[in-house]
Structure 1
Amino acid sequence: MVSSAADTRTPAQLCADKTTEAQVVSTRHAYCVRMAVNYPLLTSKGQEIGHSLVAIVAMAKFDEKSSAGGKWTEHITALTAEMTPDVGGVTLSFRSMCSGGCTTSGPAWGGAPLILARDAGGSSTVDRGRTVGRPGRGGRAAR
């Protein structure tokens, strides 16, 4: 859902928007990408024996007053919403991409894979903030 330029909602407010089921909710200066991903645990014969449901939320805001001529600051959160007993954890990795005249400050979590392992409560949460500057030069379930 794309709103008008006068829309001043924060990224957190966009993520909490219950008026739409869209994965991406955005304004000119903020966005929220929210999704649930089901990772199946398969046998060597392709039969599902377990799964993990992971919720991923990426929210960002644009600061047009930054010294770099504008800067997006993004915050990514991943959490396990559900994990069957046979799944010990989920390994995720994300990469940063830009098009046009932008640069990134690097991949989420320093480029290393993120492992969401079961904790005592049966879930795991990890989050990471990162900044994407402008302008500039041109998972799977684990047992």
Structure 2
Amino acid sequence: MRSLIAVTSLLIVAGCVETSVQPLTQSSFKISTEAEDMCGAKGTRQIAFREAAIEVIKRGADRFIVVGDQSRSAITGGMFTTYGGFDTYGTNTQDMVIQIITKGDPRFGDALSARQTLGPDWQAIVAKGPSASCL
């Protein structure tokens, strides 16, 4: 029984993230990531940043800057616990507007590298695609 509960809990955590990409211009886009409360605001922000780096590479570039960043949290429900308490649950949302920077742009030296952001296994991370988990 404990194993079933542990596996069920892991499945709930594993499916707690959803990210969408909205094109804004030929060289900019908005990443919107929503994650269950258990991911926390920090985890949601890290996932959005990672997904932004992946999208930059998918667009054939490496350098980018964050030109807009907004986060919010919301309580979406609650339930009574077996111990007479009341637990709430919610979501965290992170929106980032990303500008791709190319050589010749005066901001190139300050721009972040998508490949460095993702680390030495960046090719495998890009191939895997969007994260569905905050693990």
TM-score by length of 1: 0.37
TM-score by length of 2: 0.39
* Higher relative contact order (CA closer than 8 Å, sequence separation 6+): 2
